[in-house]
Structure 1
């Protein structure tokens, strides 16, 4: 399968492009690039000109889009994450592309779980403009599939971790590598995560496996852990030892409220589990790496020890 990859300069895209053969990468004007074939665009939105992008392409893996951030408006998300995705899929189908693998978000399912893990077939409950834009893109892709037969595969990852990961994982990795004491001693929640190595392997499987078409997959390592265990795994991965203080969750929530970081505190102490069983049932896929194995890449990469997270 010849793959066209969008988002190849992002965190997940770099790992995919560096470890798998990609037929063509989509980049924006001015972005750094290597020697592989590229297709350059100003932006990916409802007006993007895709003429010439799909020569020899069998599958699109679509990673590009606006990430969750307070700096973007609802209109921004809809323009790029929804309309940009739909336009790309229309153009791909028109030019004979067989399959479209779309990386959505677990936020389409909701913010947290209590008694039961999220499943691929439950009612969507997007909780913010970002998640809504991803869900709207999913709906648009399914309509295209029904109308013209484009094979669509939807992947909703849990939090992705690995060397140089952005967001909350980058913050936790920096803390675990530099601070000997963390406040998660009584954090007994359960959250699913996925190593970037596992995610890119799954995406390539979704691009090539004959049974993947038409399915939605909730991507994780398959081992839910607490924030305490997760940060302990990070520390072990970077060769550090940390002490976990039993700070009451109520105190941490108060700190979050006073500092304006309540959403982050809820992410750290809340539950978010997924049921990825249909991935194994449909694709026969299991994560190549355990969390412990994946965390060793933090130390092997040398990214934390040389202060690159500063």
Structure 2
């Protein structure tokens, strides 16, 4: 199975770039890739008009990571052009050129941002509530239509929070906080959240591209080890060789501060629940994460910028 990879210069792409089966990677014209020992396909931009001529020679599957992520400077039109139009154009061109499978990295956020008491499943309601997650939802719907029309085998992966060295977003912020502060306020928070290491997600995506049972499926990507925010930050601290003390701050105080500061969404990402049912990964793909959370966290100091 020979795979075309988009988003190769990003955080997760770095973990996939040297993987067996990756035959060709897509790069932007301004990407610094002189040191990459792999076959390159260069594009000027990702949108509904990208020229994919000759991109799919000898390619069996596409893993599509490239996307416009959360950005205050981006508009709904920006998300539409990149995450929807760009994705669907790529999938159509792949199908027309004989590519068998298309693995799309979506977002767990398509299920909404509320606190979920019961585990999410692939069939849980889809209620995206911002421009980014709405674009991912729209791309999912469009890909399913393309699959129906062309026979392209679409696989949708909705990752939980992805962690690892130099990870962006909330994990990067937590890591910086742990490096600078000896105290954290999560001592009595007993929430349930799922996570996945970048190494494990990379391994899963290749399995989704190559396993016959993945065709047409939706997977909620996690390691299947639900932990509290206190346990998770303790693991980060051990990975960074830092000692921290967890203070016993009530969850009600967190939520009060969130309402007063207009940061309710951020607070819920820390103290709320986001537990997923990933059982179909084992049942259909015979996949279990190759690295434990402790093993993955032990790599945090390697390659940090």
| Coarse TM-score class (shorter-chain normalised) | over 0.9
Do the aligned partners of 1:192 and 1:223 also contact (CA within 8 Å) in 2? yes
Deviation at 1:252, TM superposition (A): 2.8
Give the Cα–Cα distance (whole angstroms) in 2 for the partners of residues 123 and 184 of structure 1.
Answer: 30
Q: Distance in 2 between matches of 1:139 and 1:19?
A: 29
Instruction: Answer with 53-62 or 242-251: which moved more.
Output: 242-251
* Structure-1 residue corresponding to 2:93: 91
Report 1:123-134 matches (<5 A).
Answer: 123-134=125-136
* 1:6 alignment partner in structure 2: 6
What does 1:214-233 correspond to in 2, within 5 Å? Answer: 214-233=216-235
Which of 220, 238, 241 pairs up with 1:239? 241
Counterpart check, 1:103 vs 2:105: yes
| Aligned match of 2:189 | 187
Give the C-alpha shift of residue 235 in structure 1: 0.7
Instruction: Give the corresponding residue for 2:276.
Output: 274
User: Secondary structure of the equivalent of 1:46?
Assistant: coil
Segments of structure 1 that go 5 or more residues without pairing to the other structure are: none
Q: CA deviation at 1:18?
A: 3.2
The gaps in structure 2 that reach 5 residues or longer are none
Contact 2:117 2:273 in 1 (8 A): no
The structural deviation recorded for 1:179 is: 1.6
The separation in 2 between residues aligned to 1:207 and 1:114, in whole angstroms, is 30
Kept in 1, the 8 Å contact 2:191–2:272? The answer is: yes
User: Retained in 1: the 8 A contact 2:104–2:157?
Assistant: yes
**Alpha carbon RMSD of aligned pairs, Å?**
1.4
Q: Deviations over 1:21-43 (max 9, x none)?
A: 42111111111112311111111
Task: Give the C-alpha shift of residue 296 in structure 1.
Answer: 0.7
Match of 1:177 among 158, 176, 179: 179
What TM-score does the superposition give when structure 2 sets the normalisation length?
A: 0.95
How far off its partner does 1:257 sit? 4.4
- 3-state DSSP class of the match of 1:153? strand
Provide the rounded CA distance (Å) in 2 between the counterparts of 1:124 and 1:255. Answer: 28
Residue correspondence of structure 1 range 261-300 to structure 2 within 5 A: 261-299=263-301
The Cα of 1:177 is off from its aligned counterpart by 2.5
* CA distance in structure 2 between the aligned counterparts of 1:64 and 1:302, rounded to whole angstroms: 22
Q: Could you say which residue in structure 1 is the equivalent of 2:27?
A: 27
**Cα drift, residue 106 of structure 1:** 0.3
> For residues 189 and 255 of structure 2, what CA distance do their matches in structure 1 show?
12
Per the alignment, in what secondary structure is the counterpart of residue 218 of structure 1? strand
Distance 1:12 1:285 in 2: 19
- Larger mean CA deviation between 263-272 and 172-181 belongs to 172-181
Kindly provide the CA deviation profile for residues 92-122 of structure 1, in whole angstroms up to 9, marking residues without a partner as x: 0001101000000001122134331110122
Equivalent residue of 2:212, what SS?
coil
1:45 aligned residue: 47
Verify the 8 A CA contact 2:103 2:155 in the aligned structure 1. yes
Supply the distance in 1 between the matched residues of 2:114 and 2:221 (Cα, whole angstroms): 15
Equivalent position SS for 1:4: strand
8 A Cα contact 1:7 1:27, kept in partner: yes
1:258-287 residue CA offsets vs partner (Å, 9 max, x unmatched): 554332112101111110011111111111
Paired residue secondary structure (2:214): coil
